[in-house]
Amino acid sequence: MTADTYNKMFTMHGVVMVFFFLIPSIPAVLGNFLIPIMIGAKDLAFPRINLLSWYIYVLGGLFTLTAALSGGVDTGWTFYTPYSTAASNSHVITAALGVFITGFSSILTGLNFIVTVHRMRAPGLTWFRLPLFVWAHYATSLIMILGTPVIAITVLLVAAERVLHMGIFDPALGGDPILFQHLFWFYSHPAVYIMILPAMGVISEIVQAFSRKNIFGYSFIAFSSLAIAIIGFLVWGHHIFVAGQSVYAGMIFSVLSFVVAIPSAIKVFNWTATIYKGSVSFDSPMLYAFGFIGLFTIGGLTGLFLAAMGLDIHVHDTYFVVAHFHYIMVGGAIMGYLGGLHYWWPKITGRLYPEGWAKFAALMVFVGFNLTFFPQFIAGYLGMPRRYHSYPDEFQIFNVASTLGASILSVGYVLPMVYFIWSIVAGEKSPADPWGAKGLEWETPSPPPTENFFVTPIVTHGTHQYAPSKGVGIV
Amino acid sequence: MSAGHVAPKSMYYMVFGALIVGTILTVAAAKVDLGPLNNIVMLAIASTKATLVILFFMHVRWSSRLTWVVAMAGFFWLLILFGIGMADYMSRGWVPGTLR
Amino acid sequence: MHQPPVHVEGIPAANAHAHHPKLQHHFDTMEQQAEASTLGMWVFLVTEIMFFGGLFMAYLVYRYASPEGFAEASHHLNVTWGAVNTIVLIVSSLTMALGVRAAQTSAPPKTQVFWIVATMVFGAAFLGVKAIEYADKFTHHLVPGPNFIWEGKHPAAAEMFYSLYFCMTGLHAVHMVIGLGIMTVIAVMAWRRQFDADYYTPVEVAGLYWHFVDIVWIFLFPLLYLIGGHFIE
């Protein structure tokens, strides 16, 4: 593989995974289906806008596919200027427009969720009776609404600069490339929380269902979602510590980045406290939840390493960074997605999947993931830089381990695809509540009828009524 | 939805008059050299005009508190972008006038 | 505290009261439907604020870097055309507000259509003036790119200013064109007697969008046209 091909490969990997998988996966697949049911509504507030956002997503995908098939893009998924505007001769404009268009599908989904949660709740379903999945999606929607338009205008300016030769970001024409990075990360850092917050919502549901206990510290988890969404907007500068930002601004961003760890830690501690002394069953969704809690903790803590400016100067642009964000994105977001998919699959399709295979797949994902990405922490700390197509011999062992891990991981990903499809055809029919879980979605048949409920529910208590979570931690 | 507030026509004409006066004022103020005050006057007049449009033409004056919060949130988030973003530029020590 | 399980009682899914023909199936009442629509538009306008916000941020950075250069460049914009356009747009906002009021008060379709078409006429006039200004910039080599020619002291800052000028006013003009498209639909709906005091959400929501575009111009006019007002060559 030539250096040029390698550049195009990791760019397309980044663009497709970030903008077309991680950001829409949980909100679009699980959120669109579950939020109306969880709040006792017949549908989202704007069903036709929901359909529109799907068409927009497909259109954006077609643009990106065109860019990939016609020769690819080599700028990295971040489209950094001035390389993307002045130097690169790949298909930046097509890819940028793909990202721009898909942004609108994200905006419309967020808009739909916010209006739905505000205006469509069933009688008696007050804010503090909402499932935490809904809270997490509400916080996610806030980021989609407030952040996405900024990256839309930014990539539009990159495209305009390539077409019209204006000088907004190009230093040769009087612009500041770091302004691009400011505007880019103003969205793209909060976008990390677009990916992880819905997964956190999923985990909050699964942990309760399979510990048979109410969540420990409901309001803390609910508000920590909002806190992550809001503080997430104040930390974008930690991506550009060494890019030429002033040291003073770097200090501010560094401190604020530490602050965002607090609400994340609250969630981890509260999940752990929920499991503690619970009646825990190890069904496949719960295995993913365990994986999430552990891997997210590792990813989050290494995030603190990177948020410390001094250490970041040492490890920036190395595989340490790559390992860190894959622990959050794959270990966190994808574990949450798979967990949620397994948990609600019987509800969505009305069919049961083979639990034994599912447990095996969860194990493969966990083992394969760690084998892939943990060696990258070490390689990165030893100085292996990212985004080069070759590496010195001393890093061979780590790269071999990563490749082996990736092969195991792929088995873990393909297996669910196989048994999920099999279950639709030949799976056992699912009862309304296969897990013995609580919540409005389990009180309607699987799959739910059109308009979700035969009678509009009236809610008189919190929607999750397991055993109370008390006697742990500080009482 | 007959619950919506119907404002008298005279109110719309009064707001319109205020917006026109504001436009004339801001053009007049720009002709006078007030130093850094020029920017403040300019933005104060523009913000007042925008507030009038939002409150009366866009009916926020009679809308739910949620609408107030949503309308404010957009401008507040803009201030976050401007405020923290400019913290970098103002502490960078550029040579004035060079964009470097 | 242990609480008893969720208590779910039934109320019939098909509501007993008579449906307004404009009530969509997933809403319970007309009020809920109207509130959802206006809230949706407001949330969309927040995204629009942030969308323009990126450009305003760029303006802020580069003007901070080169205040004299920006003043020099702004001096070459035509304040008269800018002021005329500001007033044209404010008038269109007034006619829009009166159009919404006409629907709110169940005025005859002729009245509703009159105000909406008046809004469109002023909107088109704005775009006409903008076209004259753009043409003028083309003939004077003020369009950024290889053909940009600047005689003053700050050619780099001036080119940056005109890059921002075209991006900001261009994006605003695109929003105006979209607004005209929306207004065409609204005018046809009004003509077909779709709106009265019980159902006027589309006019209201389209009006919110129109006023927002007006607000953007209220800020663009002083920031682009007036900062060179007292510039001395």
What rounded mean pLDDT belongs to chain C? Answer: 89
The C-alpha R_g of chain C, in whole angstroms, comes to 24
At A172 the pLDDT is 72
Residue in A with minimal Cα distance to B78: A146
Banded pLDDT at B32 (limits 50, 70, 90) = confident
Residue among A146, A233, A248 whose CB faces B91 most closely: A248
DSSP A209-274: HHHTBPPTTHHHHHHHHHHHHHHGGG-GGGG-TTTT--HHHHHHHHHHHHHTHHHHHHHHHHHHHH
Cross-chain Cβ contact A182/B85 below 8 Å: yes
pLDDT tens digits, C134-151: 999 999 999 988 888 998
Contact A262, A321 (CB under 8 A): no
Taking contacts as CB-CB distances below 8 angstroms, the residues of chain C near A164 are 144-145
Tell me how far apart the alpha carbons of residues B42 and B25 are, in angstroms, rounded to a whole number.
9
In whole angstroms, how far apart are CA A345 and each of A292, A302, A338, A446? 19, 33, 10, 9
What's the farthest any 2 CA atoms get from each other in chain C?
80
pLDDT tens digits, A121-153: 999 899 999 999 999 999 999 999 999 999 999
Tell me how far apart the alpha carbons of residues A407 and A403 are, in angstroms, rounded to a whole number.
6
pLDDT tens digits, B65-95: 999 999 999 999 999 999 999 999 888 876 6
At C190 the pLDDT is 96
Q: Which residues pair with A456 in a beta bridge?
A: C11
The whole-angstrom distance between residue A353's C-alpha and the CA centroid of its chain comes to: 25
DSSP C11: E
Helices and strands (H, E) in chain C, number of each type: 6, 1
A177 contact B CB<8A: no
- Number of Cβ pairs closer than 8 Å across A and C? 161
Of A65 and C19, the one with more pLDDT: A65
Any alpha helices (H) in A77-176, and if so which ranges? Answer: 92-119, 132-164
Cross-chain Cβ contact A186/B91 below 8 Å: no
Q: Which residues pair with C11 in a beta bridge?
A: A456
* Position C8 pLDDT exceeds 70: no
The whole-angstrom distance between residue A54's C-alpha and the CA centroid of its chain comes to: 18
Place of tokens 């509009």: A456
Tell me how far apart the alpha carbons of residues A226 and A341 are, in angstroms, rounded to a whole number.
24
Cross-chain Cβ contact B88/A246 below 8 Å: yes
The whole-angstrom distance between residue A255's C-alpha and the CA centroid of its chain comes to: 24
Positions of chain A with pLDDT under 50: 471-475
At A167 the pLDDT is 78
Q: What is residue C25's three-state secondary structure?
A: coil
Residue among B45, B54, B99 whose CB faces C157 most closely: B99
Torsional sign, CA C26, C30, C34, C35: negative
Do the strands C9-12 and A455-458 form a parallel or antiparallel pair, or are they unpaired? Answer: antiparallel
* Position C1 pLDDT exceeds 50: no
Residue A213 has φ and ψ, to the nearest 5°, of -135, 145
Residues written for chain B:
100
Helix A335-349 to helix A284-307 angle (10° resolution) is 150
* Position B37 pLDDT exceeds 80: yes
Residue among B85, B93, B99 whose CB faces A174 most closely: B99
B93 contact A CB<8A: yes
Cross-chain Cβ contact C35/B70 below 8 Å: no
At A458 the pLDDT is 85
Tell me how far apart the alpha carbons of residues A273 and A472 are, in angstroms, rounded to a whole number.
7
Q: Quick count: other Cβ atoms within 10 Å of Cβ A118?
A: 19
DSSP A174-208: T--HHHHHHHHHHHHHHHHHHHHHHHHHHHHHHHH
Average the pLDDT over C61-79 and give the result. 90
What rounded mean pLDDT belongs to chain B? Answer: 88
At C192 the pLDDT is 95
What rounded mean pLDDT belongs to chain A? Answer: 93
Q: Quick count: other Cβ atoms within 10 Å of Cβ A219?
A: 11
At C18 the pLDDT is 59
At A38 the pLDDT is 94
At A137 the pLDDT is 97
At B31 the pLDDT is 87
Tell me how far apart the alpha carbons of residues A150 and C47 are, in angstroms, rounded to a whole number.
8
Strand (E) or helix (H) holding A456 = strand A455-458
Torsion of the alpha carbons at A109, A115, A117 and A122, rounded to the nearest 10: -130
At A383 the pLDDT is 92
Banded pLDDT at C7 (limits 50, 70, 90) = very low
Contact A447, A347 (CB under 8 A): yes
Q: Quick count: other Cβ atoms within 10 Å of Cβ C189?
A: 19
Taking contacts as CB-CB distances below 8 angstroms, the residues of chain A near C48 are 149
Average the pLDDT over C96-107 and give the result. 95
Banded pLDDT at B12 (limits 50, 70, 90) = very high
B80 contact A CB<8A: yes
Say what the pTM is.
0.93
Contact A183, A154 (CB under 8 A): yes
Residue among C83, C198, C208 whose CB faces B58 most closely: C208
Q: Which residues pair with A429 in a beta bridge?
A: A351
Picking from A13, A113, A98, A12, the residue whose alpha carbon sits closest to that of residue A56 is A98
Residue among C4, C32, C160 whose CB faces A119 most closely: C32
Taking contacts as CB-CB distances below 8 angstroms, the residues of chain A near C12 are 455-456
Cross-chain Cβ contact A249/B91 below 8 Å: yes
At C3 the pLDDT is 40
How buried is C129 (Cβ within 10 angstroms: 0-12 exposed, 13-18 middle, 19+ buried)? middle
pLDDT tens digits, A230-246: 999 999 999 999 988 88
Sequence-distant (≥ 6) Cβ neighbours of residue A51 within 8 angstroms: none
Tell me how far apart the alpha carbons of residues B23 and C72 are, in angstroms, rounded to a whole number.
22
At A173 the pLDDT is 67
Tell me how far apart the alpha carbons of residues A130 and A222 are, in angstroms, rounded to a whole number.
9
At C81 the pLDDT is 95
A150 contact B CB<8A: yes
Residue A195 has φ and ψ, to the nearest 5°, of -80, -40
Q: Which residues pair with C12 in a beta bridge?
A: A455
pLDDT tens digits, A86-125: 888 889 999 999 999 999 999 999 999 999 999 999 998 9
Q: Which chains touch C (3 or more CB pairs under 8 A)?
A: A, B
At C10 the pLDDT is 44
Taking contacts as CB-CB distances below 8 angstroms, the residues of chain B near A176 are 99
pLDDT tens digits, A430-462: 999 999 998 899 989 999 998 899 888 888 877
